Amino acid sequence: MTMSIARGLTTLNTKVPKRKILSVKQRDNLKVEHKAYNKRLRQQHLNHLQMTFEEYIDYTQGCFIPRSTNQVIKKAPMPKVRETQFVPSITTKSIPSGGTKRDWKEQQERIEISKQYPIVPAYNKGPYMVVSKEDLKTAGKKV
């Protein structure tokens, strides 16, 4: 046999407790705690959760009802498209079959340009990356 609650009754405490009267010493202690509480929230960048002293008293006594505020969601700016300079070795000639074809001179030029940039593994077993010769000494290291 199981026990049940009569319809309309609940075991949850739905009453908001009344605020207690505090002595001067208790209020002074709460002022110090309130200041530390708000400082902790500022350090955690939770400025929107800071309370006034009266709200903090209600919070410590269990009478606090939080403010319902809707935060504005900031939209991220559109990414900027960077303009790149014209590199003649990238251009190709199209052929009638739909593909592209490079002549021998263009292919040699591409090889000469690619010799200026060595390919080295990144720091801590990461993917390989293309690095200029000036930055070759620091590539793959924490700088």
Q: Which domain holds residue 47?
A: 24-61
Which residue has 């720091």 as its token pair? 123
pLDDT of residue 21: 84
Residue 28 pLDDT > 70: yes
Exposure of 34 by Cβ count < 10 A (0-12 exposed, 13-18 middle, 19+ buried)? buried
Q: Which of 44, 61, 78 is the last residue of a domain?
A: 61
The overall average pLDDT reported for the chain is: 77
Question: Is 112 within the bounds of a domain?
Answer: yes
User: Phi and psi dihedrals of 92, rounded to 5?
Assistant: -130, 165
Looking at residue 138, what DSSP letter applies? T
Question: Is 72 within the bounds of a domain?
Answer: no
pLDDT of residue 35: 94
Question: Is 100 within the bounds of a domain?
Answer: yes
Question: Is 52 within the bounds of a domain?
Answer: yes
Helix 24-43 to helix 53-61 angle (10° resolution) is: 100
Number of structural domains (the chain) is 2
Output the CA–CA distances (angstroms, integers) from residue 110 to 7, 48, 143, in the order listed.
83, 57, 31
Question: Is 41 within the bounds of a domain?
Answer: yes
Which residue has 């200041």 as its token pair? 35
Question: Is 15 within the bounds of a domain?
Answer: no
pLDDT of residue 19: 77
**Residue predicted with more confidence, 67 or 59:** 59
Which residue has 């292919």 as its token pair? 107
pTM given for the model: 0.38
